[in-house]
Chains A and B, each alone.
Chain A
Amino acid sequence: MATTVTEPGLERVERLGRIWVEPRGLLGWLRTTDHKRIGLLYFFTTLAFFGAGGIEALLMRTQLAQPNEKVLSPETYDQLMTMHGVTMIFLFVIPMTTGAFGNYLIPLMIGARDMAFPRMNALSYWLFLASGLFMYASVFMHVAPNAGWFDYVPLALKEFNPGRNIDFYALGLIFNAVSSTAAAINFIVTIFKLRAPGMSINRMPLFCFAMLAVSLSLIFALPSLTIDLVYLELQRNLGFHFFDVAHGGDALLWQHLFWLFGHPEVYIIILPAFGIATSIIPTFSKRKMIAFPLVALAELLVAFIGFGVWAHHMFATGLPTITLVFFAAASMMVVIPSSIQVFAWTVTVALGRPEFRAPLLFIGGFIVFFVLGGLTGIMFAAIPFDQATTDTYFVVAHFHFIIFGAAVFPILGGMYYWFPKVTGRLYHEGLAKLSFWLTFLGTALTFFPMHIIGLLGMPRRVYTYPSSLGWGAYNLSETIGAFILTAGLLLIFGNLLYSRFRGAPAGPDPFFGGTLEWATTSPPPPYNFPVIPTVTSAYPNWDAEDRQADLRRLERGELVLDKGHETPASTVVDAVPDEVLEMPGESPWPLAVAVCTGLLFIMLLTQHYAVAGVFAGFALLCVAAWHAKEPQES
């Protein structure tokens, strides 16, 4: 929107710029606490891991292209398969949607100047990077985890897996969980306390509802995984007994705790995709989301009910029926909120004046894959059907339709959608549409045939298969599809890279979006907004009078908060302004804590427990130094 600012306003803007600017160069980035810079760090790091996971996938697909191939040994295949799953879930999809998209967009969407805990935000990133490097060290040492991303016992126990592979897995994921927990706490407090005046919960963007659901899920799901991994390490290295029957343990204990985390995890994967979809659809349909409260509810409800379905991953383990019915019932009901969302999305597009630019195309692809993947998902809620298809490629088909088709497509669409905001330039539209169709075709060709061979009986997790079963043609077409998919992805990134340097200038609001990130410049200044916006509806950027009122406040110096590094805090439910907070600037301590923590985990891996304790002490000292200077002293 056009901003004609007069002298006093310009002065304030200049002062804000001087207060909030961070130093350029490497030291600036290492000490950054700016949520936008941290978002970009996450973006590029997760893309690197996406590439690694993709290479792992292509290697597996090459091995599986024909029967009885010897491209990879069984041991190597097991490591690739495990690392593909671990990388894609823990090092790509979740940090990309939360760390990159969430970090960059949430403060902008709620009209704040930063996250609630800027230094802890940086800490989350450095811990994430360290945990990824920790786990990939195992790949370079040829001892990558090899028991699947779900790491079932007894295969993961010392008797069957004596090397360090599983220790890398367990310690690496605990390390990663610390990063995710810190990030989740940060998101929730930010969403609760830092919303612009007037943005009561019913006026919060749907993307923020999705991120709130994701963060709450992370808070309550991660402990289950953490404790499972702690039990595993205690049993492997200190002789404890949790999982062996001979000493009163139970192998299924691992599965219960893993899936108690693991199922919410898959909703954590999909919810940000819902959030991105519900951001793109209103913009390109040029109308508000139909049934806004129900969509907001559905996002939270899916996450909540998702905590009660875990044993549907265990329908074939011999548990009694009276135990399983709880999970069959909840698994059937969890589809309802998702259906509500699908109806809301499609009706919004149908009732609007849709403009099918690349972001909306990706959302279209998302809806197709989500509906198909969701249908196969609901089929698994029926215990007998699940038992027939457990451990076949039908399951692989289902979750790749959901994870790739339904979680990654909105990420790709979101990259195009917010590219102008982040870079200030427009992407090339024609190339973007082509990249969509290529990616869509590749995805369909890779993962659709898996439904068929799954029903024909091809098991999961096999490194090869005999030629007499007629699976060869399907596998070959899946491999071809995987390479087409790769071409589509390369085209997307090529387009973005090219447009970064040669794209047309975008301006603040090229798509006429309704949420607040479009109310500031592209890219946003370090302080996000020269004046804190006041909000009276759920689509504040479509309220022209409110945005004009903001400009007038800038002239008067009201809610400009340019005395220091400031942002306002408000009440949780109704966003009544409460106080002005002095936010910290750049700091070396997050990186220092992450380094000490990394060394701590390395010592735990090599079983030098006393030295590990020393590094824990150093980490605590760094935390103390972090808190030594109070906000009002800076």
Chain B
Amino acid sequence: MNALPYSGEATTAAAVARVEQGRLARPNGWWGMALFVATEATLFGTIIGTYFYLRFNNLHWPPPGVPEPKLTLPLVLTGLLVATSVPVQFAVVTASRGQLARARAALLLAAIVQAGYLGMQLHLFVHDVHEFPPSGSAYSSIYFTMLGAHHLHVFVGILLIFWILLRTATGLTSYRMNGLRATAFYWYFVNVLALCVVGTQLSPLA
């Protein structure tokens, strides 16, 4: 019973790889992030629920005077964002095998694409706010609340990746590996959310 591993003492990439292999259960940090994701997912569930509740409450949706959502650009941007799950997952797998340099390169690539996505989305957001401000209708109110909340979550996700990049600049430890796993889980959530949000955003076109 006393042969339990002290996973916190793994301070080299090779030691971390051994810890990851021998683990029976997911680390506490992963569970903490999973539960946080559960609250945020519920939050977005209520936002999307509000969107459709209001939609059912209105004959014309969008209301007269408000343009229909654009189709192509949101889909392309979302596709790019969702694609960053590939480098993020690659980073998790390579780090768990002790290959830190590859993991960091993949994370950097992901962060750059995600930042580009966010910049473009913010530009569109500001443009739309001037075209159909939230003070005009329930449609624009829920539209901007939903998109704003999502962009905020993307922003936090980018901050998380930069934090991991910063911390792993001096090497990999078990603590940082757990942080990377939690960040990756967060990004799966944000990307699935992006699909739900863009689907809702484009639903009037259906």
Nearest 6 A-B pairs (CB), nearest first?
A248-B138, A239-B135, A223-B43, A240-B141, A632-B8, A223-B42
20 additional A-B pairs beyond A219-B39, A249-B57, beta carbons within 8 Å, are: A116-B31, A181-B36, A181-B39, A185-B39, A223-B42, A234-B134, A238-B134, A240-B134, A240-B141, A247-B138, A248-B57, A248-B137, A534-B1, A557-B2, A559-B1, A578-B23, A579-B7, A579-B19, A581-B8, A630-B8
A137 at interface by CB-CB < 8 Å: no
Pairwise interchain contact A220-B135, C-beta atoms closer than 8 A? no
* Closest residue on chain A to residue B5 by CB atoms: A579
* Pairwise interchain contact B25-A242, C-beta atoms closer than 8 A: no
Q: Which of A92-100, A147-155, A253-261, A373-381 interfaces with chain B?
A: A253-261
Binds A, one of B46-54, B96-104, B183-191: B46-54
Say yes or no: A250 contacts B134, CB within 8 Å: no
Kindly state whether residue A134 has any CB partner on chain B within 8 Å: no
A257, B45: Cα distance in complex, Å:
11
Select A248's contact among B25, B27, B58, beta carbons within 8 Å: B58
Are A185 and B36 closer than 8 Å at their CB atoms? yes
Q: Is the CB of A223 within 8 A of B39?
A: yes
- Could you tell me the distance between the alpha carbons of A580 and B138 in the complex, rounded to whole angstroms? 53
Contacts of B24 in A (CB 8 A): 571, 576, 578
Residues of chain B in range 154-178 having any CB-CB distance to chain A below 8 Å: 159, 163, 173-176
**Within 8 Å of chain B (Cβ to Cβ): is A79?**
no
Minimum Cβ distance to chain B for residue A223 (Å): 4
A189 and B35: CB pair below 8 A? yes
A110 to B11, CA, bound (A): 30
With A219-B35, A630-B173 known as contacts, the answer to whether A241 contacts B53 (CB < 8 A) is no
A223 CA / B39 CA spacing, docked (Å): 6
State the Cβ distance, A566 to closest chain B Cβ, in Å: 8
Contacts of A238 in B (CB 8 A): 134-135
Q: How far is the CA of A181 from the CA of B43 in the complex (A)?
A: 12
Which residue of chain B is the closest to A226 with respect to CB atoms?
B43
When the two chains form their complex, are residues A257 and B50 in contact, meaning their CB atoms are under 8 A apart?
Answer: yes
**Which chain B residues (1-40) contact chain A, with CB distance < 8 Å?**
1-2, 4-9, 11, 19, 23-25, 27-28, 31-32, 35-36, 38-40
Contact A116 B28 (CB under 8 A): yes
* A/B interface sample: 21 pairs, CB < 8 A: A185-B36, A185-B39, A223-B42, A223-B43, A223-B46, A226-B43, A227-B43, A227-B50, A238-B134, A241-B141, A248-B54, A248-B58, A249-B54, A256-B53, A260-B46, A553-B1, A569-B27, A570-B25, A578-B25, A579-B4, A632-B175
**How far is the CB of B94 from the nearest CB of chain A, in Å?**
21
Count residues of chain A with CB under 8 A from any CB of chain B. Answer: 59
Task: Tell me the A126-179 residues at the B interface (CB within 8 Å).
Answer: none
How many interface contacts (CB-CB < 8 Å) are there between A and B? 152
B interface majority secondary structure: helix
**Interface check A192, CB cutoff 8 A:** yes
CA separation between A526 and B128, bound complex, in Å? 57
Q: How far is the CB of B21 from chain A (nearest CB, A)?
A: 13
A interface residues with partner B (beta carbon < 8 Å): 116-117, 181, 184-186, 188-189, 192-193, 197, 219-220, 222-224, 226-227, 230-231, 234-235, 238-242, 247-250, 253, 256-257, 260, 534, 553, 557-559, 563, 568-572, 576-582, 620, 624, 627, 630-632
Q: Tell me if B6 and A230 are in contact (CB < 8 A).
A: no
Given A220-B42, A234-B141, CB of A250 within 8 Å of CB of B53: yes
B74 located at the interface, meaning its Cβ lies under 8 Å from any Cβ of chain A in the complex: no
B38 touches A193 (CB 8 A): no
A207 to B2 alpha-carbon distance, docked (Å): 29
Residues of the B chain whose Cβ atoms lie less than 8 Å from the Cβ of A197: 1
Q: Does residue B199 face the partner (Cβ distance < 8 Å to A)? A: no
Q: Kindly provide the distance from the CB of A560 to the nearest chain B CB, expressed in whole angstroms.
A: 8
Residues of B within 8 A of A553 (CB): 1
CA distance A553 to B2 in the complex (A): 10
Min C-beta distance of B25 to chain A, whole Å:
4
The answer for the CA separation of A188 and B31 in the assembled complex, in Å, is 9
